[in-house]
Chain A
Amino acid sequence: MADTTNAVELQNVVKRYGEFTAVKRMDLTVPDNSFVTFLGPSGCGKTTTLRMIAGLTDVTEGDLLIRGKRVNNLPIHKRNLGLVFQNYALFPHKTIFDNIAFGLKYRKVAKADIAKKVTDALELVQLPHVADRYPNQLSGGQQQRIALARAIVIEPDVLLLDEPLSALDANLREEMRVELKRIQRELGIATVFVTHDQSEALAMSDKLVVMNNGIVEQEGAPEDVYNNPASAFVADFLGHSNIIAANLGSPNAAFTSVNLQSGETLLTTDEQTAKTKGSTDVRAVVRAEKIQLSDQSDTGEGVIAIPGKIKTVDYLGQQARYFVTANGRDWQVINPIDARPHKEGADIFMHIAARNCVLLPGHQD
């Protein structure tokens, strides 16, 4: 019954704290060698789920399987896991060597092998010369590398990462992100990563699981989830989207018209209309960066131009975020800056291609 190619499997897992349900009926698999990310706002249940897998919180209902074995009642120290925390959680009174060797000691590894494995782990995280130091003698980024080394040296069945990059500053965070992914690839270790940072989630995952209010809103490859959000929440949480209630018109040759309630008409593709299950009540989702602004109307095959006025400009360096008012409604638009951003108050045309008009069924979730 149990599929042994899954490192972790959640079957109908529920977590309740008294009256409050933190995780509602979750079904999920973490395939071998894959990098799975739980993404969501705080309080969405992502950390609770991670802690259930770790054995730090017990499962109220359902089955939790690690390598095909039910582990609901197995205490944390008997699950073979690597755990990395946001605040490193190194042992401050032990040297780096002893920190990394900690898990090996409890696995009855011979002394000589421990030294070898610790040295290898330090090589892997590119900190070969710090074995004799204490954690407080290292920088935050270095400490997190040691925490990672400590977690992987025991060759865990799953690596669990609880917001491991959140405590680092921006530049270091990107560097560590690349590093983390490289190490995960190199070791081919099944990894569950919890974050509220969408760029981390999109950049690192093989499978992205977007959570909200204790349920999985959508799971899939990052590009699929990004380009084809299954709910308004996902559309809005990942990047910036314009979500507008609309009614479907009758299909023409190539495209179907989408009549927005704000008055404009967009075009969309058959691929999108297939999702509405015959109903004409829909919501149109247009990502802010998929709208092209220009001074002149320039419609081509399947492209609609909507006239509007720029209300505010948010200058972001390589790009700018605009709020454009059209028919009394504000649209969010993110465009790369060519020489100069468009001016506040300017009359402008928003160009939207049919393939960028994603549909969600119903006027509401």
Chain B
Amino acid sequence: MSGWSMIRIATILVYLFLFAPVAVVILLAFNANQFGGFPIEGFSLRWFEALWHNDAIVRAFKTSLLLGFLTSMVSTTLGTMAALAMVRYDFPGKRTISTLLVAPILIPEVVLAVALLLFLQALSMPKSFGLLLMGHVVFTLPFVVLVVQARLVSIRRDVEEAAMSLGATPVQTFFEITLPLMLPAVMAGMLFSFTISFDDITGTLFWKPGGVETVPTQIFAMLRNSISPEINALGAVMVIFTIALPLIAASIARVMAMRKLRASNRKTQAA
């Protein structure tokens, strides 16, 4: 057997190891039988229907969506501003601040979770949805900062200087030139923070106030009682949701770019 076919087989095995469990969950979500197992006995959407009628899950889903949406908004706004400051301005302590901003990626999430909790206890503040949101912002922020910073570095300063020399104020220059040019990175950062927040369980378990569940913590709670096929269905929904969102966003971006290019080509030919 040649070296290449060994590598090919190894690759296939690794992918199987990574994705087979996910595939099993999705397959079992369509299983008609109450007790999961192979071979699958009949195709059914009853578990998805059950999901739809399970108030706790619907509530958790809404909470996750709201939390993800707010996290991505706050993180993207703060992260973009931080990236701008890091790339465009010089100020004392810049390096330290830059390291601190990215630090949450390097620190184990459990440590971060406990730290924030202890900190709030020291301030004798109770757990709240606000605290949960704050926690999510803390560890999604580095992703936004890194993505936007990378893009911003490639936007030449002289493009902004040209805009100002033509009479645009710094604020007008930001909205007319800088923001449109870095928009892809801002959108990517927003998607990143949404998905990370939507998927997170560790920090959420520590920070969530009583009675509030997100989809991951809801699944976790349900698993403690029994392995219901509903969980498979919920898992399938989560997988589809987190994969589809970036794909849809990317294809929208591509369609818009194509349309713009085509319009300009048409005009060029007409000229």
Q: Which A residues lie at the B interface, using CB under 8 A?
A: 54-56, 75-79, 81-83, 85, 87, 89-93, 95, 102-103, 106-107, 129, 131-134, 137, 147, 150-151, 154
Query: Known contacts being A85-B158, A87-B158, A131-B271, is A92 close to B165, with CB within 8 Å?
Result: no
Name the distance in Å between A165's Cβ and chain B's nearest Cβ.
16
Kindly report which residue of chain A lies nearest to residue B173, judged by CB atoms. Answer: A77
* Bound Cα distance from A112 to B11, whole angstroms: 63
Query: Could you tell me if A106 and B159 are in contact, using CB atoms closer than 8 angstroms?
Result: no
**Which residue from B164, B166, B264, B271 sits with its C-beta under 8 Å from A154?**
B166
* Bound Cα distance from A105 to B181, whole angstroms: 20
Neighbouring B residues of A81 by C-beta, 8 Å: 165
Query: Could you tell me if A89 and B161 are in contact, using CB atoms closer than 8 angstroms?
Result: yes
Query: Could you tell me if B166 and A132 are in contact, using CB atoms closer than 8 angstroms?
Result: no
Query: Could you tell me if A102 and B166 are in contact, using CB atoms closer than 8 angstroms?
Result: yes
Query: Could you tell me if B181 and A93 are in contact, using CB atoms closer than 8 angstroms?
Result: yes
* Bound Cα distance from A131 to B270, whole angstroms: 12
The 10 closest A-B pairs by CB, nearest first: A103-B166, A106-B167, A132-B267, A83-B165, A89-B158, A89-B162, A85-B158, A76-B164, A77-B164, A89-B159
Query: Could you tell me if B156 and A89 are in contact, using CB atoms closer than 8 angstroms?
Result: yes
Query: Could you tell me if B167 and A154 are in contact, using CB atoms closer than 8 angstroms?
Result: yes
Kindly report which residue of chain B lies nearest to residue A95, judged by CB atoms. Answer: B264
Query: Could you tell me if A77 and B264 are in contact, using CB atoms closer than 8 angstroms?
Result: no
Neighbouring A residues of B156 by C-beta, 8 Å: 87, 89
Kindly report which residue of chain A lies nearest to residue B266, judged by CB atoms. Answer: A132
Query: Could you tell me if A91 and B165 are in contact, using CB atoms closer than 8 angstroms?
Result: no
Name the distance in Å between B169's Cβ and chain A's nearest Cβ.
5
Which of B158, B159, B167, B176 has the most chain A CB atoms closer than 10 A to its own CB? Answer: B167
Query: Could you tell me if A82 and B163 are in contact, using CB atoms closer than 8 angstroms?
Result: no
* Bound Cα distance from A118 to B158, whole angstroms: 22
Query: Could you tell me if A92 and B181 are in contact, using CB atoms closer than 8 angstroms?
Result: yes
Neighbouring A residues of B170 by C-beta, 8 Å: 77
Asked if B238 CB lies within 8 Å of chain A CBs, one says no
* Bound Cα distance from A89 to B268, whole angstroms: 22
Query: Known contacts being A77-B168, A87-B156, is A132 close to B163, with CB within 8 Å?
Result: no
* Bound Cα distance from A87 to B155, whole angstroms: 12
Interface residues on B, range: 20 to 34
Name the distance in Å between A150's Cβ and chain B's nearest Cβ.
7
The secondary structure that dominates the A interface is loop
Interface residues of B in 250-271 (CB under 8 A from A): 264, 267-268, 271
Interface string of B136-149 (1 = CB under 8 A from A): 00000000000000
Neighbouring B residues of A137 by C-beta, 8 Å: 264, 268
Neighbouring A residues of B159 by C-beta, 8 Å: 89-92
Query: Could you tell me if A134 and B264 are in contact, using CB atoms closer than 8 angstroms?
Result: yes
* Bound Cα distance from A93 to B172, whole angstroms: 15
Query: Could you tell me if B162 and A83 are in contact, using CB atoms closer than 8 angstroms?
Result: yes
* Bound Cα distance from A108 to B44, whole angstroms: 65
Query: Could you tell me if B181 and A150 are in contact, using CB atoms closer than 8 angstroms?
Result: no
* Bound Cα distance from A137 to B267, whole angstroms: 13
Asked if B177 CB lies within 8 Å of chain A CBs, one says yes
Name the distance in Å between A345's Cβ and chain B's nearest Cβ.
52
Query: Known contacts being A91-B177, A134-B264, is A106 close to B166, with CB within 8 Å?
Result: yes
Interface residues of B in 24-58 (CB under 8 A from A): none
Neighbouring B residues of A83 by C-beta, 8 Å: 161-162, 165
**Which residue from A85, A93, A134, A150 sits with its C-beta under 8 Å from B166?**
A150
Which of B156, B164, B169, B264 has the most chain A CB atoms closer than 10 A to its own CB? Answer: B164
Asked if B180 CB lies within 8 Å of chain A CBs, one says yes
With contacts A91-B163, A92-B159 known, what are 15 further pairs, Cβ within 8 A? Answer: A76-B161, A76-B164, A76-B165, A78-B167, A79-B165, A82-B165, A83-B165, A87-B158, A89-B156, A91-B177, A95-B264, A102-B163, A102-B166, A131-B271, A151-B165
Name the distance in Å between A151's Cβ and chain B's nearest Cβ.
8
Neighbouring A residues of B165 by C-beta, 8 Å: 54-55, 76-77, 79, 81-83, 151
Name the distance in Å between A311's Cβ and chain B's nearest Cβ.
46
Query: Could you tell me if A56 and B161 are in contact, using CB atoms closer than 8 angstroms?
Result: yes
Neighbouring A residues of B164 by C-beta, 8 Å: 75-77
Name the distance in Å between A310's Cβ and chain B's nearest Cβ.
48
* Bound Cα distance from A174 to B189, whole angstroms: 45
Query: Known contacts being A83-B161, A106-B172, A134-B264, is A93 close to B167, with CB within 8 Å?
Result: no
* Bound Cα distance from A107 to B172, whole angstroms: 13
Query: Could you tell me if B167 and A77 are in contact, using CB atoms closer than 8 angstroms?
Result: yes
Neighbouring B residues of A131 by C-beta, 8 Å: 271
Query: Known contacts being A77-B167, A93-B180, A154-B167, is A129 close to B271, with CB within 8 Å?
Result: yes
Name the distance in Å between B73's Cβ and chain A's nearest Cβ.
24
Neighbouring A residues of B264 by C-beta, 8 Å: 95, 132-134, 137
Kindly report which residue of chain B lies nearest to residue A153, judged by CB atoms. Answer: B166
Query: Known contacts being A77-B164, A102-B166, A106-B172, is A132 close to B158, with CB within 8 Å?
Result: no
